[in-house]
């Protein structure tokens, strides 16, 4: 009898290489999803800071090589062009018409005009604990494995079309030890999405068990009242978003807005002058309505978008 594990996937013999993968088995790791604009990641420093915070929180060792893997990949991406037959990067399924060319040479198909562009889309970094240990208990001093990949996708601007906000039917679990980090166990979010299906023009609002507002399914949430912007304080659940940090640290002050983080309720959302959602891929998504309340504040969003664009452009220029 072979000493190798016997492994089948859907009834078919399968490599046992991944059966001890702690990301797959336990969600033992963290991840980042990073927007790429013409080969550049303007918010990379904030993403890497949160990644480090997550690894430290979970006690996963990281070394100089850990960050070198990421830096090398990002450097290669910044020098990569995309060959496309004039087809926009609609989604990952367009990859049949799109290829990465690290040498920047372009071959023109006989039936289309090809153009070369710097890579734009998203990078995903998954950092998870090396295999080993006994069940849940990991090996002492286990280091991070780094899985990183790029997908060409179309991302339009930093201000999206407004959405209707709906309540999720299931609450987020409360665990102060895991609050703010972007860990791999996303079952609360999967369950919310499964039990409360949405349309493309809708977003789910997530509460904890005490019915305190936390965030939306994919975003942090902000409420505007006068010249004050308020966002929920994340003490026992939720993800401390990179775009949230960017707005709080670099944008709102320039717009003469006061900021605060506090526990928030349903009535805070309903009574706000404006409500908007944020994440690092899509930027700002205004909320059109919540329950029987409709929102509009076009001047605010126009000014906010202009300031975001200016700050992002500055970040990119500073990389040259």
Percent of the chain with pLDDT over 90: 78
Architecture of domain 163-317: Alpha-Beta Barrel (3.20)
For strand 228-232 and strand 202-207, is the pairing parallel, antiparallel, or unpaired? unpaired
Q: Measuring CA to CA, which residue among 305, 306, 235 is closest to residue 276?
A: 305
3-state DSSP assignment of residue 159: strand
Secondary structure tally for the chain: helices H, strands E = 7, 17
pLDDT per residue over 188-228, tens digit each? 999 999 999 999 999 999 999 999 999 999 999 999 999 99
- pLDDT, tens digit (0-9, with 9 covering 90-100), for 58-76: 999 999 999 999 999 999 9
More confident residue, 3 or 48: 48
26-53 pLDDT tens trace: 999 999 999 999 999 999 999 999 999 9
What is the distance between the alpha carbons of residues 315 and 309, in angstroms, rounded to a whole number?
10
From residue 100, alpha-carbon distances to 80, 149, 193 in Å are 7, 12, 33
Could you tell me where the beta strands, DSSP code E, fall in 63-217?
81-84, 98-101, 115-118, 121-129, 144-151, 163-167, 202-207, 213-216
Q: Within 13 Å and on the Cβ side, how many CA atoms surround 280?
A: 26
User: Do 277 and 216 meet the contact criterion of CB atoms below 8 Å apart?
Assistant: yes
pTM score:
0.87
Token pair belonging to 192: 């919310």
Domain residue extents for the chain:
16-151, 163-317
Structure tokens belonging to residue 30: 């963290």
Whole-angstrom Cα distance, residue 296 to residue 294?
7
Per-residue model confidence as pLDDT tens digits over 248-301: 999 999 999 999 999 999 999 999 999 999 999 999 999 999 999 999 888 999
CA distance linking residue 284 with residue 297, whole number of Å: 13
* Amino acid 94: pLDDT: 29
User: What's the CATH number for 16-151?
Assistant: 3.30.470.10
From start to end of the chain, where are the E strands? 8-9, 12-13, 29-36, 81-84, 98-101, 115-118, 121-129, 144-151, 163-167, 202-207, 213-216, 220-225, 228-232, 258-262, 274-279, 283-290, 293-294
Which residues, other chains included, contact 296 with Cβ-Cβ below 8 Å and sequence gap of 6+? 274, 288
């Amino acid at each position: 009898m072979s000493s190798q594990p016997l492994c089948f996937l859907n009834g078919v013999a399968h490599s046992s290489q991944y059966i001890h993968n702690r990301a797959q088995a336990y969600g033992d790791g963290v991840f980042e999803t990073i927007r790429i604009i013409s080969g550049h990641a303007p918010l990379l420093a904030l993403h890497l800071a949160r990644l480090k915070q997550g690894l430290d929180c979970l006690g996963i060792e990281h070394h100089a090589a850990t960050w070198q893997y990421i830096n090398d990949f990002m450097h290669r991406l910044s020098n990569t062009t995309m060959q496309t037959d004039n087809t926009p990067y609609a989604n990952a399924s367009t990859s049949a018409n799109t290829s990465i060319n690290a040498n920047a040479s372009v071959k023109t198909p006989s039936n289309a005009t090809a153009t070369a562009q710097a890579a734009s889309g998203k990078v995903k970094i998954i950092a998870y604990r090396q295999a080993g240990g006994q069940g849940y208990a990991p090996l002492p001093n286990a280091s991070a494995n780094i899985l990183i990949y790029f997908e060409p996708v179309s991302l339009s601007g930093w201000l999206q079309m407004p959405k209707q906000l709906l309540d999720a039917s299931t609450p987020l679990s409360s665990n102060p030890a895991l609050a703010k980090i972007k860990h791999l166990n996303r079952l609360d979010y999967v369950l919310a999405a499964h039990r409360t299906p949405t349309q493309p023009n809708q977003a789910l609002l997530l509460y904890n068990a005490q019915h305190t507002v936390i965030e939306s399914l994919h975003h942090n949430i902000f409420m505007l009242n006068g010249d004050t912007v308020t966002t929920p304080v994340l003490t026992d659940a939720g993800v401390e978003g990179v775009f949230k940090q960017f707005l709080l640290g670099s944008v709102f002050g320039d717009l003469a807005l006061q900021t605060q983080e506090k526990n928030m309720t349903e009535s805070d959302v309903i009574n706000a002058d404006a409500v908007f959602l944020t994440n690092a891929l899509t930027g700002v998504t205004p909320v059109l309505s919540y329950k029987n309340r409709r929102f509009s504040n076009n001047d605010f969003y126009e000014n906010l978008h202009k300031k975001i664009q200016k700050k992002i452009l500055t970040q990119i220029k500073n990389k040259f």
